[in-house]
């Protein structure tokens, strides 16, 4: 299935969206590990719904910085790496679909 793009992704909106989901993860970690894990799954699902390679590239570029800004997430490097790998895999998959 070929996905057509008609406009460039809105970097500001994508970064704001990313910040909101990461803020939720940061907040959930205060309660218990299950809440944090659920927050990460929601962020992963949101990434899955992004329909184009350019937007996913913006997400990959913004993830480390946005994650590092949250005090409670700084020791959750494994989860960050998994999200980055997942986003890159999604980007490759979409790239292959568009060929």
pLDDT band at 4 (very low <50, low <70, confident <90, very high): low
Mean pLDDT taken over the chain: 91
CA distance 83 to 64: 10
| pLDDT score at 96 | 83
When pLDDT is averaged across residues 42-58 and rounded to a whole number, the result is 95
Chain-centre distance for alpha carbon 46:
7
pLDDT, greater one: 7 or 23: 23
| pLDDT score at 3 | 54
Does residue 93 carry a pLDDT above 50? yes
Full-model pTM: 0.86
When pLDDT is averaged across residues 26-55 and rounded to a whole number, the result is 95
DSSP string, 63-85: HHHHHHT-GGGTT-HHHHHHHHH
């Amino acid at each position: 299935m070929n996905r057509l793009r008609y406009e460039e992704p809105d970097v500001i909106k994508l970064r704001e969206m990313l910040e909101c989901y990461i803020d939720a993860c940061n907040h959930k970690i205060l309660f218990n590990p299950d809440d944090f894990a659920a927050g990460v799954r929601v962020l992963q699902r949101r990434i899955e719904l992004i329909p184009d390679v350019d937007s996913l590239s913006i997400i990959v570029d913004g993830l480390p910085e946005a994650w590092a800004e949250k005090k409670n997430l700084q020791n959750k490097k494994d989860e960050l790496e998994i999200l980055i790998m997942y986003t890159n895999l999604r980007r490759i998959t979409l790239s292959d679909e568009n060929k």
